[in-house]
Each structure stands twice: as C-alpha cells, then as structure tokens.
Structure 1
Amino acid sequence: MASPDIVIIGSGMGGATVAAGLAGSGAKVTILEKGERLLDSPETRDARAIFQRAHFRPKEMWLDAQSKPFNPGNYHVVGGNTKFYGAVLFRYRRQDFSELEFPGGGVSPAWPFPYEELEPWYSKAEQLYQVRGTTSEDPTEPFHSRDYPFKPVPDEPAIAKVRERLKSVGLHPASLPLGVDIDRWLARAKTPFDAYPDTLTGKMDAESCGLAAALEDPDIDLQTGADVVRLETDEKNRIASIVYRQKGEEKRLSPKLVILSAGAIRSATLLLSSADGRNPDGLANSSDQVGRNFMNHNATFMLAVDPRTVNDSVYQKTIHFNDFYFDDGNGSGPLGQVQLLGRVTGQILKSRLSAVPEFALNMLSRRSVDWYLVSEDLPRKESRVRLDGSQVILEWRFSNMKAHETLVARVKERMRAAGYPILLSQLVDGRLPSHQCGTTRIGNDPAGHVCDPWCRSFDHKNLFVVDAGFLPTSAAVNPSLTVAAQALRVADYIRRTELAS
C-alpha cells in the first residue's frame, strides 16, 4: 500500500474525531486500528455475558503499582473504549481551565488556553455526536454558542420521582448530556446503555459518528487488524515510518504526518517502546513526561436504597447534580460531580458479589437508585504508566482523596434527607482506567510537557498525539467530549498549517 499523507493510529474518540475533522481536506488519510468492528450478537445485550462472564473483555493483563496482575478493560475494537462508554458528553466547566485549589492543598494546574478557545469546538463536537441535553438546569453549565442539537433523553417515571426528591432537599438535578438515541437503543432490547457494547443500535460513539463522518470521504480509509509495533525516526528526528503487523505480515507506512490516538495508556507505551539511538528514553520524551501524570478519576459507586419505593427503570441514566462541584456550601472548596449510573441489576451486582444469590441481589436492585460520584484526580509525575519489557505497568497513585471523601459524606447526607436510609458505597480501585487521561499532556513548556497546545510533539514536528493523554487536568466530568472538541480543533489547525499549500 502506498504511504498516505497522514496516518492516524487508533479509531477511538480522538482518532475518529480528528479523522472527521480532516474529511474533505484533500489529504490521503489511513486509520490503523488494532481491532475489528464489533458485530451484533446475543451477548451484546446479555448482562450475564458482559458483567459475569466478561465476554468482551480483552485477554491482556497489566500490572498495578503492587505488581499484581489485572485485566484492564482496555478495548481493542473499531471505536475503541467508546463502544462501551456511558455516552455522557460533558463539557469541562469554564473554571476547570484555570488553576483550582482543593481541600487538603492539592492544586489542579491551569490549561495553556481558556475555555473560550475550546468553546466553538465543543459546539461542533456536540453536533457531530448528536448530544441530547439542555443548558437551563445546571448552574455550573458554561456558555454555549449553540444549543444542543436534541432535547434531553427523558426521565423514566421512577427517575422523574428521584429528580423531585433531590429538589426537595435543595439539590439542583439536571439532565445528563447524552449521546444516545434512546428509542433506537430500546428497540434492539430493553437494557441499559452504560457499559453495554454498541453495535450501531443507538449509541453515538466514535464509530457511529466520528468514523462514519470521516469515511464518507473516499480519501480516508480504515485498516483493521493493524497492530502498530513501533515508530521509527529519521536523521532530522521526524517520524519516518510506522511499523505494524496485519494478518501475520509486517508492514510499513511513511506518511508526512502521524497522529497517535491509541488512548492515554497505549499511546504512551508505544512512544516508550519506540526508543532509539536519538531518543533513548522513548519518542517525544526529552521532558521525561511520557507516561507520567496519569489521571483517571476518584470515583465511588453508591446504591441509595429506599425499602418503600420500587425502581422499575430500564436505563435510568438521565440525571446528575453539580451542587458540590466548586463549593460544598461549607467552605470546603471543590469536591466533584454526581451522576446516575446505568441501571445496576442483580445480574450486574452478581459480578462483584458472587457469593450472594442473584434473586437476593435483584430484590436489592429493585429498591435502589445507583449513583456514580466523581472527583478530580490531580496530575503527579509519580502517577504513571511504564513498561517492563513488553509488560504494561500502571502505577496510579490516588490524589485529592480528602475532597472525594468529603463529597461522599455530603452526598450521603443529602440522600438520607431525601428518604434513602440505606446507602451502600464502594470506592473504585485503581485497576479500572475507564476515564484514563494524562501521560502526554499539552502545555507551553517543552521541559515539562510532551506536546504543545495543538497536540504537536515538541520533539518530532510531524507527530501529533490526539487522545485523552493530552489532557492537562482530569476535571470531575467524563472526558470524551473534551477529547472530541480538541480533536476537531487540532484537525482544523492541521488543515490550516500543514495542508494549506
């Protein structure tokens, strides 16, 4: 295959969206994806297959900070991790782009540009991913130059009552911004959508939106089963070649530009494993920051149980509240965000409570409402992903835990006031990198950052890293829309500066 002008490595939210932004540019673009398309099957809507038997989980094993092996749930399919995401498409709040100080003294650094720089691209990303939402309910919602393209996904009757109960105790529940056509989703099967794989049946993900838009351009093509082995540099320290394996054969491409979008962890490990004589510590790593500043989120699952009330919702995940996002009302400072999980049934609970009979877990589920409490994880150089040979080691170090513990306490207080006497909570451990970010952060200082504010490597002028690795901070909301917005911004920059001639 002749080398294209641009190669994009990875078809997740970053790769698919930057490809959509390059559509119509006239550039020849090839997307290399390690996985294949996820096909519809009975297992895609089978909770026992997904959660108990781990039918879709990849087979790879990583090591944690204690050298214990774990299965990370880092999916290698067309569309990447978005195929299983909860389709929550939040903007970072305006203040998230500035320096924030947290209880306990932790500091979230400022971005190299303000919210206003990314705002038009947020609007474009919301149009591309067909977000259902409203700007009128959440007091922390930042300025929007365009309305959401669709109205919010409606609350089911049981969840509408939850919304009213939260309002009665002074909270401000708001509709989640969601990328899901709920009618199409339920027409396939009446299941939740959070953590269920999308097979083009209603979820707006990297494949169904970003990649679909990109592939309308005949100059853009997708190569599946293409496992990138290494990047090679030339005497000018530009990326000269991409070496990958496909169907047992080693292949090579030599494009003018390389856009690495394999995800925060896999992009970092590819750069590290591509070390050469000019770059002995790994590519793009003269700052020694590749793989460092790994962030996820501090998160807690909470079941709010009211034995007197039945929750018969199917998908559930339609509301959130940000009352404690920037101030808990008692002077403690920013704490975090609270959103509904997808409906947690007894079949799902069984995957974590294997000794409890499923019928008993169904009884618990029928009386509970399921929440996800999220606090910001702060960037620290010792929180990192690294390699030992080919073994991925994720040394995620918890940070900002005082804020998270205070958030959990405040939420429990409000839930009890709202009539939920039984509250069951579990801190999410460091082996579920569902909101992985950091590792190749953008900034203005080459000594302390991997890429510039346009996601261009400081070390290799024809390399861009466009996935959640670029995020300078994790904020306390789902990162997908911010990745998409920056991907569209970077694509526009590439069109103007690299392709204009």
Structure 2
Amino acid sequence: MIIDDQYYDLIIIGTGAGGGTLVHKLAPTGKKILVLERGETMPLEEQNRSNVDIFRKERYHAPEQWYDSAGEPFSPQTNYAVGGNTKIYGAALLRMRERDFETVTHQEGVSPEWCVKYADFEPYYTAAEQLYLVHGQSAIDPTEPPRSADYPYPAVAHDPCMQPVVDAIAEQGLHPVTMPLGLTRQQDDPTSDSEVCGLVPALKYDNVTLRTSARVVCLHTNPSGRVVKAVEAEIGGESYLFLGDIVVLACGAINSAALLLRSANDACPNGIANSSGLVGRNFMKHSLTAVVQLSTASNSGKFPRSVYIHDFYWGDENFSYPMGHIQNTGGLLQDVIFAESPPVLSVLAKVVPGFGLKQLATRSIGWWAQTEDLPNPNNRVRVENDKLYLEYTPNNVEAHDRLVYRWIEVLKAIESTQSIFQRSNIHPRGEAPLQVVANQCGTCRFGTDPATSVLDPYCRAHDLDNLYVVDGSFFPSNASVSPCLTIIANALRVGDHLIDRLK
C-alpha cells in the first residue's frame, strides 16, 4: 500500500452536485483540499447532448453490478465521471416548497419534518441559482415558496412545438410554469453542471488537487471509531492511503451509505457512523412514470425540457393528499431515462406502422409524472460479501396513480392539438425500473437525535467528529421535485459551517 506523502485539511470524495459545489465553496480558503473522483473527465459526446443516440440501451449504466432484494444482478443507471450525474442530468433546478420542510400527511404515511427549515435554506437556494446560472420565471407557480431574489437569468423560451401545448394547458385553468434550468448558453456545452460551475473554477487554486480514477474502498478510523484517520482508494491497480483532518462523502446516497457499511471495523462492526442502525435505510428515489404524447406535428426530438405544472402538487378537488410534480422531458432523443426502455415507444409503433423509434420520437412529446415516495427503513442499501444490495418497494402508490391519470385527463382535454396519449410500459406499473436511481436520497438522514438520525443538522456524522456527508443522503424526506438544487444549496450551507470550523 502506498501512503500519500501529503497531509490534507479536507478530503472530498465525489464531484457531483454536492462534492463539486463544496470544492468551489472551500477553494478560496487556502486550505489544502484533495478531491477523489472514481471516474474521469467525460467527453462532450458522451454527455446528455442532443447528438447522442439515446436509444442505445445501457449507454449511461455504471460498469458494475448491484443486486436487488431477490439477489438478481442489475447494472445501475448512474454515472462515474468528473461532475458525477450532473453530466447527464436535465439541469432542472427547482426549490423544495416551503411546506416540504414540515410534517406532511400523505395517504400512505407521513413525510417527516426537517430539522432545518426553508427559511434556513432560502439564502443558499439563491446562491445556488447564481452559481449554477439558473434561468427561470417566478410568481406564477401556485406553490412557489418565498424568494429573496428573482432568478439570475430570464426564462428560456419554449420550443415552437411546445408553445401551443403550454397555451392549451393554461386555457384549462392550470398554471404551466417555465422550468428553471441551469444553462451556460454555450453552444458546445450548454448545461451548467458541477464540473463547469464547481470544479473548473476551484482547480484554479493551487491548494486544490483532483485525483481521478480513484475508487475509494474504505475509511479507516482510530481505535475508538470516533475519528476518520485515512481514506483508502484504488488508483491504477494500486492501493493508496490519503490522510487528512476532515473527510467529506459526496458519492451519491447509495454509494456513500455503501462506503460507510464497507468500512466496518472492530469498533464499528455494523459500519462506521452507524450506531443508530440507519445507515443505508430509508432509501428514496421518487415514483416516476412516463406519459408519451403522440403529436400530429413533427419536432426535432432534441428540444430542451421547458415547462412544469404544480396544480396537483398538494392534491386536487377529488384527492386531499399530495400528488406531485409534472414536467415535460424535452425531446425524447435526449432524455437519459428514456434510454432505459425503447418499448416506451414500441406501443405507439403499433399505431403508426412503418415508423422506427427515432421517427416516433420526433412526433412525440414526453412527460414525467413524479411523486414523493415515503421513507421506509426496509427500503435500504446493504452490503454483503462486498456485494451492494438495493432493496426497494414503491410506496405512496395511489397518489402517484392519481397524478398520472389526472395528467392524462388534461392531455385529453387539449386533444384539438394532440392526438394520442399513452402511458409508458417501462415497468408493469408504468414506473421506472430499479436500475434507474435518479434522485436517490435518504440513506443517512440528518436530525438532532443520534438515535433516529445518522447526521447532525450540519451533516456531520453524530458518531465521528470529522466526517461529513453532502450528497442526497441527508434527506429525511424526498418532496416531489428533483433534489439536485437542494443538494447544491446544502453543500453551500455546510461549506459555510466548515469555513467557520477551519478558522
């Protein structure tokens, strides 16, 4: 084993929304920072760009196998690269609603209260929108939370194929809102991500070092298990030990939990930071259903997502419980999750014989219906014989079904401009399959009580003085919007805490 001859003030593991943002926040401190990333720099042609043949199955799957609750292997749809999953995301950056931070009663259970409130997050949401160049439109969404500032950039206009649809939705008395998007507006690399906005500026500082192709396999603690003393990583077939004062995990909710569990030792036989027994538990990832709308008019198949609807976020006149979030996917030829299942369009192929998948995609508009799933300790990440198991059973099912059918009703009501509506068959219930682990969170929830949470309100492990987690692991509940902007905002919030501590 090779022991690195440098000693670091901070070691950050992972460069996605949490890790890449935190590096940017801490780089100006002058503290010696090591960033370890399992992947390498991702070429533009491999990212979520419109020239990608998105229907090539498993393009965006990690080169490894995980296992489901039945022990069956699958390849997860997750990305190991500088910038993490923000290199292939849709750059839809929405705030959680103010009520999402409170206790919310759902038909199938309770979404628990957060120990930190929207008011605490609000200035960091504003800073996150500035950092990630968010283009948006406020004061139209009926669920919009209070804002201290407007979006830093104006909303992007809808694609010509979408504007008539947006207008028709508004005529139904609904409130279609322009999607807040993180955009650089550069022709060759239009999406703002954690590499572009976080790492690239941070690496201009001499005190920041990035090591790629570095797969972290273990955290080593002192004999009491109270302090992380070293990070072990595999680089180029060799094992390295890196030493530092503070260690921050940002590997994604699944891999951060797995790393803590794999780091079990004599002092922590069930994994480090796990005196509560909750590491890996309460995994959440949203209920997602694709609704494909076949249009009489053709489109490029490569236009950006641009609209969301929150009229059913907290329910409707027939259902008093939260239902969730609707957004269009943009052109189907550039939506990563549609790569999971070409059969999404195969049903429509029967309606329009002679059309290939690509031809159908250019006559379709995709929509995602997205509903909060509730924390369940039996939905979990666990490690056995060095194999990663992801055990997950969907919940809050009726609320999600109601959202899907309610949205299909809306689309049918505007049939003067659209002709055919089809719920996807990605999954027997129309949901994304297990290998789609977008929006993963909840495996190391934060809170004030060490018996019922893994992390404290500043995302430091209750059990260890120098270990933090800044990916989606800290979420005690999932809301119905994408967690990405909240992860970014939280990284900035934790960054302020670490700056005070480092002083």
Could you tell me the TM-score, scaled by structure 2's length?
0.91
1:111-157 CA distance string (max 9 Å, x none): 00210001001111111101011112212111111221111121111
Amino acid at match of 1:423: F
Q: Give the alignment of 1:88-237 within 5 angstroms.
A: 88-103=92-107, 105-182=108-185, 184=186, 187-188=187-188, 201-236=189-224, 237=226
Are 2:293 and 1:293 equivalent residues in the alignment? Answer: no
Which piece of structure 1 moves more, 203-212 or 216-225? 216-225
CA contact 1:345–1:361 (8 Å) conserved in 2: no
Are 2:367 and 1:364 equivalent residues in the alignment? Answer: no
Are 2:371 and 1:383 equivalent residues in the alignment? Answer: no
Gaps of 5+ in 2: 425-430
Cα distance change on mapping 1:43 and 1:14 into 2, 3 Å:
closer
Percent identical among aligned pairs is: 39
Q: How far apart, in 1, do the equivalents of 2:354 and 2:114 lie? A: 47
Which residue matches 2:227? 238
* TM-superposed deviation, 1:54: 3.2
* TM-superposed deviation, 1:66: 2.4
Q: How far apart, in 2, do the equivalents of 1:404 and 1:493 lie? A: 37
Q: Give the alignment of 1:459-474 within 5 angstroms.
A: 459-474=463-478
Amino acid at match of 1:71: S
Aligned residue among 64, 76, 82 for 1:60: 64
CA contact 1:292–1:382 (8 Å) conserved in 2: yes
Q: How far apart, in 1, do the equivalents of 2:299 and 2:39 lie? A: 38
Which residue matches 2:22? 18
Cα distance change on mapping 1:382 and 1:47 into 2, 3 Å:
farther
* TM-superposed deviation, 1:351: 4.9
* TM-superposed deviation, 1:399: 1.0
* TM-superposed deviation, 1:42: 7.5
Q: How far apart, in 1, do the equivalents of 2:341 and 2:329 lie? A: 16
* TM-superposed deviation, 1:315: 1.3
Amino acid at match of 2:456: D
Which piece of structure 1 moves more, 55-64 or 369-378? 55-64
Q: How far apart, in 1, do the equivalents of 2:53 and 2:360 lie? A: 21
CA contact 1:64–1:431 (8 Å) conserved in 2: no
* TM-superposed deviation, 1:44: 6.6
CA contact 1:70–1:431 (8 Å) conserved in 2: yes
Q: How far apart, in 2, do the equivalents of 1:123 and 1:80 lie? A: 23
**SS of residue matched to 2:288:** strand
CA contact 1:6–1:258 (8 Å) conserved in 2: yes
1:321-372 CA distance string (max 9 Å, x none): 0000012132422100000113114996795239768834344334332100
Which residue matches 1:76? 80
Aligned length: 482
Q: How far apart, in 1, do the equivalents of 2:498 and 2:340 lie? A: 48
* TM-superposed deviation, 1:73: 1.6
Aligned residue among 418, 422, 425 for 1:424: 422
**SS of residue matched to 1:24:** helix
Q: How far apart, in 1, do the equivalents of 2:52 and 2:162 lie? A: 24
Q: How far apart, in 2, do the equivalents of 1:76 and 1:367 lie? A: 33
1:453-478 CA distance string (max 9 Å, x none): 10000000100011011111110001
Which residue matches 1:191? none
**SS of residue matched to 2:314:** coil
Q: How far apart, in 1, do the equivalents of 2:258 and 2:45 lie? A: 32
**SS of residue matched to 1:271:** helix
Could you tell me the TM-score, scaled by structure 1's length?
0.92
Gaps of 5+ in 1: 189-200
Which residue matches 2:342? 352
Aligned residue among 302, 306, 325 for 1:337: 325
Cα distance change on mapping 1:323 and 1:53 into 2, 3 Å:
closer
Amino acid at match of 2:342: R
* TM-superposed deviation, 1:313: 6.0
* TM-superposed deviation, 1:301: 0.4
RMSD of the alignment, in Å? 2.1
* TM-superposed deviation, 1:312: 4.5
